[in-house]
Amino acid sequence: MIRVAEGVYVETRFKGGNVGLIDTEEGLLLVDIPPNPADVKLWQHQVMEVGNKPILYAINTDDHPLRVMSNNLLKVPKIAHQAVWEDLATPKAPYRQIFREFYKAYRDQEPPDNFGDLMPAMAFSRRMSLYKGGRLIRLIALGGTTPASIVVHIPGEKLLFTGALVVTNTHPDLCMADSAQWLEALAYIKKLSVKLIIPGSGNPCGK
C-alpha cells in the first residue's frame, strides 16, 4: 500500500482495480473493495495496520461488478450513486449478464440470484459531502464509465480518486460506458483543482 498524502493511501496490486483508504480522526473511509475474497481479507488487514480505528464507510465509485461484488464481504455501510442502488435492487437482463461474466471470472461460480446483500446503505444522485475528523470529502457524480460513476475529491489535499474514469498503463473497460458522458466527465476533472489523481487502475498520476 502506498501513502500518497497525509492520511491517504492506495493499494494498486489487487486484481480488478485500485482501492483507497482515507484516515480521519473519527475513523476510516474506504474507496472501493477488491473483487477477490482473499484480497478483501488482505485489504482489511492492511487497513487495520494503518489505523486501528473503525471503518465508517466504504464508497463504491460505480456499479461495475468489479466494484460491488464484494460489498457483502465487508460489513460496513456502503455509499454509492443512486444508480448502484437501482441496478442492484431491480437488475435488468443486460446488467445481470455483465455481472455474471465478471463474477464467474473472479469467483469461478454463479452469482447470487438476489443482490440485496450488495446494496449500499446510502445513495445520492448528484453531490454528497462528508465531514469527518476535520476533513472534507466530496463525492461527485459524473457518469461515463457507467451511469453510476463518481469521483472522490479531497480538496484539502488537492487529491482525486477517479474510479474507472481514469486508468493508467491499461485499457479502459467499455462494457457499460457512455463515451459522450465520459468525455464530459474528463473535461470536468481537468477543471478541478487537483495535483494528484488516484486512477481506478494503475499508478497515481497528475492531470
What are the E-state strand segments in the chain? 2-5, 8-11, 19-23, 28-31, 55-59, 78-81, 122-124, 127-132, 135-141, 150-154, 159-167, 196-201
The one-digit pLDDT tens for each residue of the chain (207 residues) are 999 999 999 999 999 999 999 999 999 999 999 999 999 999 999 999 987 899 999 999 999 999 999 999 999 999 999 999 999 999 999 999 999 999 999 999 999 999 999 999 999 999 999 999 999 999 999 999 999 999 999 999 999 999 999 999 999 999 999 999 999 999 999 999 999 999 999 999 998
Cβ-contact 172, 186 below 8 angstroms: no
Mind listing the pLDDT tens digit for each residue in 29-78?
A: 999 999 999 999 999 999 999 878 999 999 999 999 999 999 999 999 99
Extents of the domains making up the chain = 2-201
Tell me how far apart the alpha carbons of residues 42 and 85 are, in angstroms, rounded to a whole number.
27
Cβ-contact 20, 10 below 8 angstroms: yes
DSSP 118: G
Q: Which CATH number fits domain 2-201: 3.40.50.300, 3.60.15.10, 3.40.720.10, 3.40.50.2020?
A: 3.60.15.10
> What is the pTM for the complete model shown?
0.96
DSSP 205: B
Residue 38 CB neighbour total at 10 angstroms: 9
Give helix then strand counts, H and E, for the chain. Answer: 5, 12
Tell me how far apart the alpha carbons of residues 106 and 11 are, in angstroms, rounded to a whole number.
18
- For residue 13, CA distances in Å to 17, 27, 102, 189 come to 8, 24, 18, 25
